[in-house]
Every structure is written in C-alpha cells, then in structure tokens.
Amino acid sequence: MTELEDKIAQAQAEIERATNIVILTGAGISAESGVPTFRGEEGLWQNYRPEELATPEAFWNDPKLVWEWYDWRRNAVKDAKPNPGHYALAELEHYVQKITLITQNIDGLHQMAGSHDVLEMHGNLWQIKCTKCGEIEQSYEVPLAELPPKCKKCGEIGRPNVVWFGEMIDMAVIDAALQAIEQCQVMLIVGTSGVVEPAASMGLVAKQTDKTVIEINLEETPSAGLYDIVIREKSGEVLPLLFTSNKTLS
C-alpha cells in the first residue's frame, strides 16, 4: 500500500464509523470547477489581495473598483458546474445520519450539487444588498449593466451581500457551526488555506474536543500538523474515493 492509499483507507474507516460529520470547505473545492481561489497566483485579480478589496473601507473608497472585482467573480462562477468533490459531499448525506456542511464559499455550488442546509459563512455572490434600505435583490445578471448597481426600491447603490473583512458573520451561523463541531465525531476540512478567521480556528476547536480531523488540500496549511489525517491531493479526485456507498442508514 502506498502512503496515499494508506491515508485514504484510514479516512474511509473513520468516515464509515461516524454517525455525525462536519465538513468545512473553502475556495479549493471549487477550483476544479474553474472558480478562481483567493490566494496564490491565479487567485489574484489585477494584483490586488482579497484583504485590499473585501472590506467596507475599500468599497466606500471606490465602489466601482470593488464591484468590478465581484463582477469578475460572478462571471467566473456563472457557467461553473459542481465537480466530483461537491457531488461526493452531497451524496454523503445519504449514508451518514448527520452531516453539517459549513462553507466559506459564496458560489452556491454545494447547493447546486444537492447538499442541503449549507451554512454559508460569507454570504452569497448572487445577492445585491442596498446600502441604504437593506433591500436584497437576487440577480444573475453578468456582467452587471451598471457598476455599482442601484437599488430598485430607493435608488441608492447596492453592495454584494457578502461578509467583508472587519464585518460580523451572522452569529446564528457561527453558533450552528460550533455546535455541530461539538457534536460530531469526524471533521473534514477541504480546500481552505486556513488563514481567515473564524473558519481557520474551527479545526482547532474540533481537536480541543478530541474529534478526528481530516484535511484535504493541495498545499501545506498552518494547522495541518495538529490534524489526524492530511491528504495533499485535489479534492475532486480524493473525495469520491473516501466515501464507500455500501453504508446505509440504520
């Protein structure tokens, strides 16, 4: 058995035994769907780092620039389809009593693959929220006719309905995520660089309470040393191998 096969067998055994699994995903799971990640060469948009654009300050300083970035992301996601990684996670719901899927992604691909009750920590790319009256518009227009887009109700400028650096994540989402981690036996962390809080600490929370943590990521991450099984492969290739469908719900 190669080292990789051995790790996959270990992960399969952990998943097979578990009745309650938490999954945390980041941009890496959508990379094989052609959605650019945030960090690394390909993720950069016109040499800006996400921390320079995904903030309220950047938006109010130059709303058009920030919208150009989101328009570019919307365009990149528009024709994207879920990949075998998304589908494997959705299918897992049929074999494990309780699955909680927490994602930092705003692309909607987990839901498109069939996952239910996805906890979206960072919002949704297809919603525009009015900066004045708070009206939320679901919009799939790409590219947007006007940047920044205007509110249909009051005429003020809209912003992407996403969570930016320095903004609060919905407490209900955080609570639900932490509660799920407390109750699970196995946590799977897939395709996240592990540098943005609070998601970055969720694996540590799981370890503090002795859960088995499995990481799947192409590259090294800051907390990998603390995890039980670390698989450095593409999620679209590995996830379908981890779940054997001979397990049925009792």
Active site residues: 122
Of 88 and 130, CB closest to Zn ion: 130
Among 218, 224, 226, 241, which residue interacts with ligand OAD (rule: CB under 6 A)?
A: 218
Q: Which two tokens stand for residue 246?
A: 């001979």
Q: Is 151 in the site for Zn ion (CB under 5 A)?
A: yes
Sites for Zn ion among residues 103-142 (CB under 5 A): 130, 132-133, 135
Stretch of residues binding ligand OAD (CB under 6 A), selected from 30-38, 93-101, 143-151, 223-231: 30-38
Among 23, 27, 35, 214, which residue interacts with ligand OAD (rule: CB under 6 A)?
A: 27
Look at residue 151 and give the partner it binds from Zn ion, ligand OAD, none, a contact being a CB closer than 5 to 8 Å depending on partner kind: Zn ion
Q: Is 232 in the site for ligand OAD (CB under 6 A)?
A: no
- 56/29 Cα distance (integer angstroms): 27
Residues in the chain: 250
Q: Which two tokens stand for residue 249?
A: 């719900």
Give the contacts of 50 (CB within 8 A, at least 6 positions apart): 38, 39, 43, 165
Backbone CA torsion sign across 222, 22, 51, 220: positive
How far the first Cα of the chain sits from its last, in Å, is 32
Q: Is 108 in the site for ligand OAD (CB under 6 A)?
A: no
Say which DSSP state 148 is in: S
Look at residue 135 and give the partner it binds from Zn ion, ligand OAD, none, a contact being a CB closer than 5 to 8 Å depending on partner kind: Zn ion
Q: Is 159 in the site for ligand OAD (CB under 6 A)?
A: no
Least distance between ligand OAD and beta carbon 29 (Å): 7
Look at residue 153 and give the partner it binds from ligand OAD, Zn ion, none, a contact being a CB closer than 5 to 8 Å depending on partner kind: Zn ion
Of 11 and 151, CB closest to Zn ion: 151
Buried b (16+ CB within 10 A) or exposed e, 66-95: bbbbbbebbebbeebebbbbbbbbbbbbeb
DSSP sequence for 178-233? HHHHHH-SEEEEES--S-STTHHHHHHHHHHTT-EEEEE-SS--TTGGGSSEEE-S
Among 120, 129, 235, 242, which residue interacts with ligand OAD (rule: CB under 6 A)?
A: 235
Stretch of residues binding ligand OAD (CB under 6 A), selected from 137-145, 181-189, 230-238, 242-250: 230-238
- 199/7 Cα distance (integer angstroms): 24
Q: Is 38 in the site for ligand OAD (CB under 6 A)?
A: yes
